[in-house]
Amino acid sequence: MLAGMAGLLTTIRWLFRKPVTAHYPEQHLPIQPRYMGFPALLWDETANEPFCTGCMVCVRECPTQCMTAQMSDNPRAATGQSHRRKIIEEFEMVLQTHGDGQSHDGSKRTIIVPTIDYSAKLSTLLDDSRILGISSEILGDDFNYGSGDGNYYSGDTGWHPDGGYPELFAIKLAFYLDPLTRDSGCLRVLPGSHRLDSSWRVSGQDWNQSQDLLGVSPAEIPGNVALETNPGDLVVFNHNTFHAAFGGSSRRRMFTMNLHKRGHTEEGIARVDGYLKAHCPVAHGFKIGGMYTDIILDTAPPERLKHLEQCHERHALVHPNDTILRPFPTL
């Protein structure tokens, strides 16, 4: 009898309480801070492709190792319409076939120079109207292609410029193949540091020692800008710009194209020669018998050859011991 009365009182008490369940999807509950729900695949409406590239970094970096992923191919890949997927596949082929990609264990950066030159598909990026438009606007219509690198980055990359020969106006086009934020290894830059009279440069300080110099970590240097990217984004910056990355995973994928002004005068050609002493495959320890591979030359339309001609010729003079003489294709 007493148990029945207690049950009745409990029923009456709950009868007048607010519902504890939500009638989804008509009713939504607020998402609490730090809620770690089921991951969703985001779609890039501008390219009609998913942002996810199947790199599996999320699975490898999961701190509790409780995450798994099952890939369903991009529906555009089956019909050959996924340019993003094709670029990533070609990049992986180059790193695995011509570089040390197979031995990459995440302990350090893996690099290959050049990259697009080993792939007929990637070489066509030098023919892309969008890339030509940006590059011609900055460097002029007859700019030179000065090779480039492909990378599996690992961990932090400290502050540094790439301009080993700052007298020549050069830019770097960086293609990032994985989603990157300020906390997961995206490119960071120090605006204005490309100027030869910039305080970042003339001070001669090592800004990776910022804890001693400024009292902050390198990632917290005042004024640095994080350029967050998704696959398909292109980052263009001056070769002399101080840049870095912090908090990255052990296999961040990126490749570059280095472009610079063509030399028209004796002084201009001397600057190109000076650039090639510091920026070409053999200068980075990769001997390929010249400035370019046969692939990028033999598949080149006349418009591309215009951007290869001068460096092909000057490389033979600057690096005669790493040049297998071959006739340049007819323009």
Burial of 211 (0-12, 13-18, 19+ CB in 10 A): exposed
Q: In this predicted structure, what is the pLDDT of residue 275?
A: 94
Q: In this predicted structure, what is the pLDDT of residue 71?
A: 52
Domain boundaries, the chain: 83-322
Q: In this predicted structure, what is the pLDDT of residue 40?
A: 61
CB atoms within 10 A of CB 27: 9
Q: Are 183 and 190 in contact (CB under 8 A)?
A: no
27, 36, 91, 86: which is closest to 58 by C-alpha? 36
Do you find a cis peptide bond into 114, omega within 30 degrees of 0? yes
Biggest CA pair distance of the chain: 109
Q: In this predicted structure, what is the pLDDT of residue 150?
A: 96
Q: Which two tokens stand for residue 213?
A: 């110099």
Partnered with residue 57 across adjacent β-strands are none
Q: In this predicted structure, what is the pLDDT of residue 290?
A: 95
CB atoms within 10 A of CB 216: 11
Residue 2 to residue 227: CA distance in whole angstroms = 69
Q: Are 245 and 186 in contact (CB under 8 A)?
A: yes
**DSSP code per residue over 164-178:** SSTTS-EEEEEEE-S
139, 67, 117: which is closest to 286 by C-alpha? 117
Residue 215 to residue 221: CA distance in whole angstroms = 9
**DSSP code per residue over 222-291:** TT-EEE-B-TT-EEEEETT--EEE-S--S-EEEEEEEEEPPP-SHHHHHHHHHHHHHSSTGGGT---SSS
User: With the C-alpha atoms ordered 282, 288, 118, 301, is the resulting torsion angle positive or negative?
Assistant: positive
Q: Are 93 and 124 in contact (CB under 8 A)?
A: no
Q: In this predicted structure, what is the pLDDT of residue 163?
A: 77
pLDDT digit string (tens) for the chain, length 331 residues: 677 777 788 777 777 777 777 777 777 777 777 666 656 666 666 656 666 666 666 776 777 777 776 655 555 555 556 577 789 889 999 999 998 888 888 889 999 999 999 999 999 999 999 999 999 999 999 999 999 999 999 999 999 999 778 889 999 999 999 889 998 999 999 999 999 899 998 899 999 999 999 999 999 999 999 999 988 889 999 999 999 999 988 889 999 999 999 999 999 999 999 999 999 999 999 999 999 999 999 999 999 999 999 999 999 999 999 988 888 987 6
What is the CATH topology of the domain spanning 83-322? Jelly Rolls (2.60.120)
**DSSP code per residue over 42-110:** -EETTTTEES-----HHHHH-TTS---------TTTTTT--HHHHHHHHHHHHHHHTSSGGG--SSS-E
Give the global pTM: 0.77
